[in-house]
Structure 1
Amino acid sequence: MQHIKIETDAQGRELAQHGSLDFPCGTYDEYFSQFFNEEVPWHWHEEIEVVLVVEGATLVQCVNQERVISRGEMVFINANALHRLTRHSEEECHILNVVFSPKLLTGHLLGTIYQKHILPILQSSELQMVTFAPDISWQHQCIQTMQEAFEHWHQEHSDKEFVLQMALMKLWHLLASNIKLPNSHSKNTTQQERRIQAALEFIQQHYRNGISVYDICNAANISESEGYRLFRNLLNSTPTAYLTEYRLRMAAQTLVQTKQPISQIAYDTGFNCPAYFAKKFRQQYGSTPKAFRQQPLKPQL
């Protein structure tokens, strides 16, 4: 049964610390069957993320763009980019990913390398993600570099941090040398992202209550019609559908983590009718709440 969840604050920012203060970088070997609903839900973090697909495929979504990343391909997700990953293959989706602070590349933020080569990419609101395919020479180099670094890391060599840091620096150098940054930042995209984040923050704070589409849109200072447009264009959803999905996710986590009565969980997550909750839960997770709770946890791989 899926059991890993992404902890976020009220703004949707991931709370997990990746790595440590002396090495601000976390590496992960993950299978989508470990996650609730086989997805990593909408969230963002201040670190950069690089995801290499080992088996299967994942749909990676950012604001205004999405791509299916298949076996042997890789994706770079920029700092502070709102994003979501969903299994997109019949077979299991297995990924290797690294989440790291830009400080790892230079040690400090005032040097020439950071100001000249790193900051322009971080500040580009239009550069939310970059995909890498093995049939393009420089992208193949990036993929191969990260594959070797991941393998070296998992073999627990004493110099694994050194090798991974060098790999990330090479990746960044190839990226900065081969992409063309837009001449100006998109203020419209930035404003849209701020509005959708405000709407998601409101849902995460108030999903237990009887909130409406008007309430969600009002929190983001937009009209209902604009709210529907933003959710459709940016998240491929609607305010109501996202609210229901979020409530079901919170209910599923509570089912696994507590022994609270199912009817109480339904009420606590914003459902006024336990029967309706059970119906929506079955549609979302393919089983009744009771059966979902009784399934054994899969061991973490």
Structure 2
Amino acid sequence: MPNKTLSDFAALHEPVSHGTALFPIALYEITSTLWMEERIWYHWHEELEILVVTRGCARMNIAGRSHDIREQDIVIVPSGALHSASRTPGQPFCFFALVFSPSLLDRSGSDDIYRKYIAPVFENRLQFPEHIVPHSAWQQELLTLLYSIRDLFAEKAPGFELLVKARLLEIWHALAARSIPASSPKPGEDRAAHHIKPVLAYLQKNYRRQISLREVADAVHMSEGHLCRLFRSVTGMTLTDYLHLYRISVSADLLIQNRHSISEVAGMTGFNNISYFNKIFRRYMHMTPTQFRQSDHAHPLSFTGR
């Protein structure tokens, strides 16, 4: 399976298919390091995601709710939820994630199993536990099943798809037994996330060129002041900080590929001034682009499944 990088994993509204049309599930694995500002950018997808931390710790934000997660913790990301994560300073953040469509569990979408146990979750009428710390027996069993799926993807023996689906149904049974009616968002919370999605999409689509605050505000039909307040309330950072972080993440990937000069990489990621590119790159990567390219650290984070 091809390696991926962190910015690949977090395309905003991911247009890619997770898995295949006939087997709509993918497993992604990330091995983190300590040398850069590592984040999973705010993004969302219609599929449900189950994430297992394998090393280190991070803070994860799901639809405005923050969770401090650490090794062996399990996180369930609901369908359509805007989410992000950033590692704890000085700590690695390694994890694997399963991302899958409801059609994997029941392709017909018309029987009692789908109607009673699957549709309510993907339609956000029922809510699974969002952050699971594996203390009890059922939580430990859940962790064992998830690691089993990871092993099945790694080996891909004939018929592994049958066992993946079987394990996933066991996981679903354990989670469904502990589901609760989905709570209503706080006033304005859901609306804020709804309005910020097109802002993020605009930034990620246009990061290669110069973008002004006025341009973004006009594109999403907001005043500049309202846009700044809303963006910070949802993402916890300024619009400029987010754009810098995204550009530097993409530029790091391009430097790893070693196909372009540093000045070309700067221009490809929206930096028209090489000195400014060096300054911003150093701010987040703690080294210059040249040092990064020459360092032993210049390797993509490992992904599987896409």
TM range (shorter): 0.7 to 0.9
In the other structure, the counterpart of 1:4 is 5
How far apart, in 2, do the equivalents of 1:239 and 1:208 lie?
15
Give the C-alpha shift of residue 239 in structure 1.
1.0
TM (norm. structure 2) is 0.83
User: Given that residues 278 and 288 in structure 1 are in contact (C-alpha distance below 8 angstroms), is that contact kept between their aligned partners in structure 2?
Assistant: yes
How far apart, in 2, do the equivalents of 1:35 and 1:94 lie?
14
User: Given that residues 52 and 72 in structure 2 are in contact (C-alpha distance below 8 angstroms), is that contact kept between their aligned partners in structure 1?
Assistant: yes
In the other structure, the counterpart of 2:207 is 207
In the other structure, the counterpart of 1:75 is 75
In the other structure, the counterpart of 2:108 is 108
How far apart, in 2, do the equivalents of 1:220 and 1:35 lie?
35
- Superposition map of 1:1-301 within 5 A: 4-7=5-8, 12-33=12-33, 37-88=37-88, 90-124=90-124, 130-182=130-182, 188-296=188-296, 297-298=298-299, 300=302
Q: 1:35 to 1:145 in 2, by over 3 A?
A: farther
Q: More deviation in 169-178 or 144-153?
A: 144-153
- Structure 2 alignment gaps of length 5 or more: none
User: Given that residues 152 and 160 in structure 1 are in contact (C-alpha distance below 8 angstroms), is that contact kept between their aligned partners in structure 2?
Assistant: yes
Instruction: For 2:209, give the aligned amino acid.
Output: N
Residues 96-117 of structure 1 deviation map (CA, whole Å, 9 limit, x = unaligned): 3211111111122222222222
Q: Secondary structure at the match of 2:244?
A: helix
Identity percentage of aligned residues: 28
How far apart, in 1, do the equivalents of 2:264 and 2:51 lie?
38
User: Given that residues 126 and 180 in structure 2 are in contact (C-alpha distance below 8 angstroms), is that contact kept between their aligned partners in structure 1?
Assistant: no
Q: Which has the higher contact order (CA 8 A, sep 6+)?
A: 2
Q: More deviation in 201-210 or 64-73?
A: 201-210
Give the C-alpha shift of residue 54 in structure 1.
1.9
Over the aligned positions, Cα root-mean-square deviation in angstroms equals: 3.2
Q: Secondary structure at the match of 1:211?
A: coil
How far apart, in 2, do the equivalents of 1:241 and 1:25 lie?
33
User: Given that residues 5 and 35 in structure 1 are in contact (C-alpha distance below 8 angstroms), is that contact kept between their aligned partners in structure 2?
Assistant: no
Q: 1:162 to 1:88 in 2, by over 3 A?
A: farther
- Structure 1 alignment gaps of length 5 or more: none
